[in-house]
Structure 1
Amino acid sequence: MYVLKFGGSSVATADNIKKVISIIEQRHMNTKKLIVVSALGGITDMLLQCSLLAAEANEGYKELLNQVEQRHLDTARQLIPIQSQSSILSFIKMQCNEMEDIFNGIFLLKELSLRIKDKVMSYGELLSSKIIAAALESSNKVQWVDSTQLIKTNSQYGYAQVNFDATDTNIQKYFKENDTLLYVASGFIASDEKNINTTLGRGGSDYSAAIYASALHAKSMEIWTDVPGMMTADPRLVPAAKTIASISYQEAMELSHFGAKVVYPPTIQPAMNKGIPINIKNSFAPKDAGTVIEKKPKNTGSTVSGI
């Protein structure tokens, strides 16, 4: 099993998603792959803004929600053959109707709890993963995976802590019972013991991928993003900064805690525990080597700075 995670910028538009589909179909052919996706680029912020407007009794949330719905409908129409569109388009409309009801409740109460905020935020990954699974289905056999049914957490809404024993058991059982070559899962989202949606913190789709990789003893985990990998320094401050070809788990963890935003910090621990290499790759330059985070990094001569 290989786990490939694609971030919001990689799935921001239909054209970008077409690039992602090409990467998925060309990598690790005839081998099991789990694709973990973020929300379409910018959607999480739009959903948060809808929530805040509704809590302020500002009806502007309605127009913003219309934009969210239209963007998903347009993306689906551009990716999926017309004869196969009806189920995904009705799914998008149904989810947006649910959101409308939630926002109306927030509007009337003028209150936004962390629990409701998590529910709202979960729609981004739910919609993107369904659309990408449907787009892949036109030429592949695909199993869509609902992460809220598998990744279990406590009830600390907004930044939930994973129950790894329950989660690993759920994931292993599910993948044993649903055997295929290609899976698509929603990143970032989970649920508590009452099956109420929770989220893993901003950047949590990386963490979702690591949770799956660890439970499934994946051969490797790939994080596909819009940068060439981890750098020797911040390229905005140090123009001569180079991509680090290979780095240890510990060094990568330190860099991520000191502001390197390529990897969400909690991501590294589950992979490190199982010795699973993490490859950072650029969706827009897929042939570039990127960075490998591993137990024993190869000596590349690149000195790392926390600038």
Structure 2
Amino acid sequence: MKVLKFGGSSVASAKNFAKVVEIITKATEKDVCLVVLSAVQGTTDALIEVGRDAEKGNEEFREKIKLIEDRHFEIVRNLIPISQQSAILSFLKKRLNELESLCEGVFMLRELTARTLDRIVSFGEILSSNILAAKLNSLQIENIWKDTRELVQTDSKFGFAAVNFEATNLQIKDFFNSSNSKLFIVPGFIAADASGATTTLGRGGSDYTAAILAAAVSAKVLEIWTDVSGMMTADPRLVQTSRNIQHISYQEAMELSHFGAKVIYPPTIQPVMNKRIPVWIKNTFAPEDFGTLIEAETTLEKEAIRGISSIGKISVLSLEGSGMVGIPGFSKRLFDSLSRGHINVVLITQSSSEHSICVAVEEKYSSLAKEIVDSEFVYEISVGKIEPLKIENDLSILAVVGENMKNHPGVSGKMFGTLGHNGINIHAIAQGSSERNISAIISSKDVKKAINALHEEFFSGGEKQVNIFLVGIGTVGSKLIEQIRQQREYLRQNLRLNLRVVGVANSRQM
């Protein structure tokens, strides 16, 4: 069996749905296929907004539900022949009426619990997956639609539920063993607790749904179809010369996804990694592109690193004081207090002198973290053993990732040397013992410059890029531009120098 997951951009319009159908049709010629669908792009956010408006007593929630209805109806009318629209339109209307009734209750009570919000956002994937099933039926392509709430069982932590894998795997195997269909359609993101209440797996959870199902049925491959052709060596919005990563290991993909690469949802890889099931990231809009294949092992390439990534909006919390030296338990108390505040620690670093410990958290939690930690150490602060928690904001984490780093001495020296040569100050450094990731905390304003400098250092093959801004484009300036154009290939091939004219100006305009 092959599992195919399509993201929200892949089903954002009738035209995109048609591309998805083409991909599925081709896949079912060779394999039994299980298709996992996200909500139509933007729908989950719209549903959250509907719930929040109802909670606030804002009557506009009804108009917003109508907009969701209109968008889905428009997709159906442009996708499915008129003679076959009535059943799916009736289904959509019934589900949207349920949504409105639910929101009316929230509106009356002025209360939106996590459980109710999960129920509200679940409608997105239910609507999109049923539209796909209806389109396939209109083409006389036999398929079975199955509600994932009957397959994936979780605990009752609404909003970010944890999967009960023992019960889930049993339910999935029972269902698929009892069916001989060649094509199954299921909604992603949603699940149910032991009592049948709707839960969700967190934002981006449709990838996770697909991985859970792929692992349970021992699929030969999990394909994640999105709007880009796989993972890149760096964010293409920041680095114009970034290139596609065709092969990458599970561990490298997890590192890159954790540190900001948004192509894949970080927990996705864990279930399939345990079963050594390949994950193939493909582009719905360019299906012939190779994409990125994530496997247990990849052939070691000559590059020391596989990719560069970053996370923005980070705060660094520093706990310092001579009273910490040689006294066990300070780190435990720090992390326990942050845990009680439900604050996730992104990065940890500590000096060998034990005089200080630094942790990185999301910037939005920095004030809460200071309040919690200062309260935890109120006695030690009052007697001068340690100082009040220090906070630095407007920071980002820069991560260089590569399985092959351990075979290339000097990677960290090259990384920090490059940052130093470009005048980029490092606030903190961390590296795991696996030598798969080197992370540095830098100022957010330096991220673009840092990533471009590192990408040039590690991926240019020794080629140096020089950007030229030319002021004065008269006779001399014009001749210089012509010389650069004529000599560009010679400079690149013989001197490994890439000259780029990035801007020109004269006395009148720039």
Structure 1-normalised TM-score? Answer: 0.98
CA distance in 1 between counterparts of 2:74 and 2:127 reads 13
| 2:217 partner amino acid | L
TM-aligned CA deviation for residue 216 of structure 1: 0.4
State which drifts further: 219-228 or 70-79: 70-79
CA distance in 2 between counterparts of 1:301 and 1:54 reads 56
What residue number does 1:263 align with?
A: 264
Say whether residues 1:278 and 2:279 are aligned partners: yes
What residue number does 2:180 align with?
A: 179
Comparing both chains, which one has the higher relative contact order based on Cα–Cα distances under 8 Å and sequence gaps of 6 or more?
1
CA distance in 2 between counterparts of 1:160 and 1:40 reads 22
CA distance in 1 between counterparts of 2:307 and 2:42 reads 31
Q: Is the 8 A contact 1:147 1:190 kept in 2?
A: yes
CA distance in 2 between counterparts of 1:175 and 1:84 reads 28
Structure 2-normalised TM-score? Answer: 0.59
CA distance in 1 between counterparts of 2:302 and 2:183 reads 37
SS of structure 2 residue aligned to 1:170: helix
Say whether residues 1:217 and 2:218 are aligned partners: yes
Say whether residues 1:191 and 2:200 are aligned partners: no
What residue number does 2:487 align with?
A: none
TM-aligned CA deviation for residue 31 of structure 1: 1.6
Aligned runs of 1:71-220 on 2, under 5 Å?
A: 71-139=71-139, 140-220=141-221
Q: Is the 8 A contact 2:155 2:193 kept in 1?
A: yes
CA distance in 1 between counterparts of 2:43 and 2:282 reads 23
Q: Is the 8 A contact 1:35 1:184 kept in 2?
A: yes
Gaps of at least 5 residues in structure 2 are 311-510
> Deviations 1:26-64 (Å, cap 9, x if unpaired)?
125142000100000111111111011111100010100
TM-aligned CA deviation for residue 304 of structure 1: 1.7
SS of structure 2 residue aligned to 1:178: coil
| 1:189 partner amino acid | I
Gaps of at least 5 residues in structure 1 are none
Number of residues of Structure 1 aligned to a counterpart in Structure 2:
307
CA distance in 2 between counterparts of 1:223 and 1:301 reads 27
Instruction: Summarize the Cα distance change of 1:64–1:301 in structure 2 as closer, same or farther, 3 Å threshold.
Output: farther
CA distance in 2 between counterparts of 1:300 and 1:21 reads 36
What residue number does 2:315 align with?
A: none
TM-aligned CA deviation for residue 78 of structure 1: 1.8
> Deviations 1:168-221 (Å, cap 9, x if unpaired)?
110111011122111111000000001000000000000000001000000000
TM-aligned CA deviation for residue 83 of structure 1: 2.1
What residue number does 1:54 align with?
A: 54
| 1:56 partner amino acid | K
What residue number does 1:304 align with?
A: 307
State which drifts further: 70-79 or 125-134: 70-79
> Larger Rg: 1 or 2?
2
Aligned runs of 1:17-36 on 2, under 5 Å?
A: 17-36=17-36
| 1:103 partner amino acid | C
SS of structure 2 residue aligned to 1:41: coil
Q: Is the 8 A contact 1:47 1:121 kept in 2?
A: yes
| 1:133 partner amino acid | A
> Deviations 1:237-272 (Å, cap 9, x if unpaired)?
111111100000000001111111111011000010
Q: Is the 8 A contact 2:27 2:33 kept in 1?
A: no
| 1:306 partner amino acid | S
Identical-residue share of aligned pairs (%)? 51
| 2:309 partner amino acid | G
SS of structure 2 residue aligned to 1:252: helix
What residue number does 1:68 align with?
A: 68
CA distance in 2 between counterparts of 1:300 and 1:93 reads 53
| 1:7 partner amino acid | G
What residue number does 1:39 align with?
A: 39
CA distance in 2 between counterparts of 1:172 and 1:298 reads 34
Instruction: Summarize the Cα distance change of 1:301–1:223 in structure 2 as closer, same or farther, 3 Å threshold.
Output: farther
CA distance in 1 between counterparts of 2:44 and 2:240 reads 31
State which drifts further: 272-281 or 81-90: 81-90
C-alpha RMSD over aligned residues: 1.0
CA distance in 1 between counterparts of 2:211 and 2:9 reads 19
TM-aligned CA deviation for residue 138 of structure 1: 2.1
Q: Is the 8 A contact 2:222 2:279 kept in 1?
A: yes
Aligned runs of 1:225-264 on 2, under 5 Å?
A: 225-264=226-265
CA distance in 2 between counterparts of 1:266 and 1:301 reads 29
Q: Is the 8 A contact 1:246 1:300 kept in 2?
A: no
CA distance in 2 between counterparts of 1:38 and 1:160 reads 17
CA distance in 1 between counterparts of 2:301 and 2:42 reads 36
Q: Is the 8 A contact 2:28 2:183 kept in 1?
A: no
TM-aligned CA deviation for residue 300 of structure 1: 4.7
CA distance in 2 between counterparts of 1:224 and 1:306 reads 21
CA distance in 1 between counterparts of 2:195 and 2:74 reads 35
SS of structure 2 residue aligned to 1:253: helix
What residue number does 2:11 align with?
A: 11
SS of structure 1 residue aligned to 2:127: helix
> Deviations 1:93-146 (Å, cap 9, x if unpaired)?
000110111111111111110000000000000010001011011221010011
Q: Is the 8 A contact 2:126 2:187 kept in 1?
A: yes
Instruction: Summarize the Cα distance change of 1:19–1:300 in structure 2 as closer, same or farther, 3 Å threshold.
Output: farther
CA distance in 1 between counterparts of 2:174 and 2:288 reads 35
Q: Is the 8 A contact 1:34 1:184 kept in 2?
A: yes
